[in-house]
Structure 1
């Protein structure tokens, strides 16, 4: 049976959770959704689109809204697999269609809802013995009487963040007080914020793929367990923080580790730690974990992303739009098209 794929994008911010707000990305990932759709179409896979003849440089010609009406429209046009290129949560409209038996590419909505919370996720990973930086949750209620048990500098960030938006390196108590008050007064991130120790060493990002059957070097490779793409080093930080990829293209501040580095015991163990983290959160699609070393070279997992950015250079006007995952994939011989096709091949439906 021929697969017919539709890609959905985010049209509204997810609901608050315990007073915590996850800001919405402008455009709702319609850009990467269009990159994915164009890649699939190039590979002669039938892509269902909102318009008859989508224009290559018009993102919204390629993707459907992630509303109930948008998803239903894609199915009415013939889609039998929905690619969830959006932010998911418990109560997301896709849940109704999952219960009806639709196949999807992406995560389980309730898992994203749970693990988008950095405090919940990092506490869980730490309880499983994984290396997590020291941290504290600061709310409006304890803003005047919290106690840090780690030294400055520290990093202040949203609990349900998106990339490096709202993330700041803070060098003193006075500066922290000022930044926290500013973040709370903006109300962009809700009633609580996350502060963790700053790690002064190198930063790498690791994409972990779910178990499944993959095509690597023109061979079918069964992967029974979670497995890592080669880590990507981040550099050219701005004030200690990797800049948001909407501001600086990742190809300008990121590079895959070389063969010698990939064979180091430290990196091999870090990949194993990230694979264990993916198992713990029951990932059904790629996740991305940001890791950083302290001044002694010990790596910690500090940010687990249930929805990695998936932009790629599939369309002619977006040749500089590699994502971190696409960069990593190239190291194992995958083009962006190969990555997208292998992601499609891990589609799933209820019951899991």
Structure 2
């Protein structure tokens, strides 16, 4: 265990947009996750893990003092400064520069870039999950406004949610109640090309929304003991509330601690949530997750839960740096309910590092 604690780690952040795939664009988060990267680096350092940083004495208030860009140059700098493992707090894809270093056997924390490219497409991922019997809301892909008229004539049930195919959180997601509003929204989204040349419209689920963080198999430190988890396993569900026009707002606008809470033990033991947790674990196995993923789920008006958004790169902000007291992510909230502090969560994630 001493080598685990003594091996220096560097945190990478997203420096540029990922490549366009099949005409679909994945928008970039402002700052490229440098904020959560700084939270993680600061917290790991406070927990006694050696953290390599771009500057000798990083300022807790300056995010770029703590993280390296996920470019060839940024990765080389981190390794030159002594990093022995890399935390991929960034958006990955098949041709990402990290592939070169993975092929050299450097340990990483994060997903396999090839699988991220495959499963970052919400349409394809939902099709896979649906084909395996998991409950996924019905949806359509639109590349032209004209295609919408055919779908409306077939009796599309409103309201629906319009969303990007390779989206990021709730960015670009809107709830639509009328055909006129739908036509205007689809036209605006396709003409802007912000998300590429296709979008999704999906059945709106009006019931309770919960989000589940699913952890990969591995060895974890829990309640003072080392525990081997041989299968994917869920942290307790977190319920969302105070939606804005039916959609949970982006965490950069409203901190999740203001509109989210871990479900009670009694709720968690209900059959519907127990089934949902198993379904989310199955989904994580289907996409071969190597690090935590987060799956957003919601009930229809009959009370049945559906999985509507599988996120391979969940937000990992957390309280620690000055002024970040309200920045716990949904995964950090869930982790606290099993007795893990934010540092505990990060150290346990670090323990799941892997290499080729």
TM-score category of the 2 structures, normalised to the smaller one: over 0.9
Structure 2 CA distance, aligned partners of 1:200 and 1:93?
Answer: 41
Structure 1 CA distance, aligned partners of 2:27 and 2:234?
Answer: 28
Match of 1:312 in 2: 318
Structure 1 CA distance, aligned partners of 2:230 and 2:34?
Answer: 32
> Are 1:13 and 2:10 an aligned pair?
no
Deviation of residue 187 (structure 1)?
A: 1.0
Structure 1 CA distance, aligned partners of 2:127 and 2:148?
Answer: 23
4+ long deviations beyond 6 Å: none
Match of 1:250 in 2: 256
Match of 1:72 in 2: 76
Match of 1:104 in 2: 108
Residue 164 of structure 1 aligns to a residue whose secondary structure is coil
Match of 2:230 in 1: 224
Rate the CA distance shift 1:144–1:197 in 2: closer, same or farther, 3 A. Answer: closer
Equivalent in 47, 52, 57 of residue 53 of structure 1: 57
Unaligned runs of 5+ in 1: none
Deviations 1:26-69 (CA, angstroms, capped at 9, x unpaired): 00000000000011100111100000100010000000000001
Deviation of residue 172 (structure 1)?
A: 1.2
Equivalent in 169, 177, 180 of residue 183 of structure 2: 177
Equivalent in 27, 31, 38 of residue 31 of structure 2: 27
> Are 1:264 and 2:279 an aligned pair?
no
Structure 2 CA distance, aligned partners of 1:275 and 1:65?
Answer: 31
Match of 2:214 in 1: 208
With 179-188 and 146-155 compared, the bigger mean Cα shift is at 146-155
Residue 79 of structure 1 aligns to a residue whose secondary structure is coil
Match of 1:189 in 2: 195
> Are 1:89 and 2:93 an aligned pair?
yes
> Are 1:131 and 2:135 an aligned pair?
yes
Deviation of residue 273 (structure 1)?
A: 0.1
Structure 1 CA distance, aligned partners of 2:338 and 2:38?
Answer: 24
Contact in 1 for aligned 2:7/2:85 (Cα 8 Å)? yes
Structure 2 CA distance, aligned partners of 1:144 and 1:252?
Answer: 37
Provide the aligned C-alpha RMSD in A: 1.0
Match of 1:298 in 2: 304
Contact in 1 for aligned 2:145/2:186 (Cα 8 Å)? no
Structure 2 CA distance, aligned partners of 1:41 and 1:144?
Answer: 52
Deviation of residue 142 (structure 1)?
A: 5.1
Q: How does 1:307-346 map to 2 (within 5 A)?
A: 307-346=313-352
Structure 2 CA distance, aligned partners of 1:190 and 1:146?
Answer: 21
Contact in 1 for aligned 2:142/2:148 (Cα 8 Å)? no
Contact in 2 for aligned 1:138/1:146 (Cα 8 Å)? no
Q: How does 1:134-153 map to 2 (within 5 A)?
A: 134-140=138-144, 143=147, 145-147=149-151, 150-153=156-159
Rate the CA distance shift 1:267–1:17 in 2: closer, same or farther, 3 A. Answer: same
Residue 175 of structure 1 aligns to a residue whose secondary structure is helix
Contact in 2 for aligned 1:208/1:287 (Cα 8 Å)? yes
Give me the TM-score of the superposition, normalised by structure 2. Answer: 0.97
Equivalent in 38, 54, 62 of residue 66 of structure 2: 62
Structure 2 CA distance, aligned partners of 1:230 and 1:6?
Answer: 29
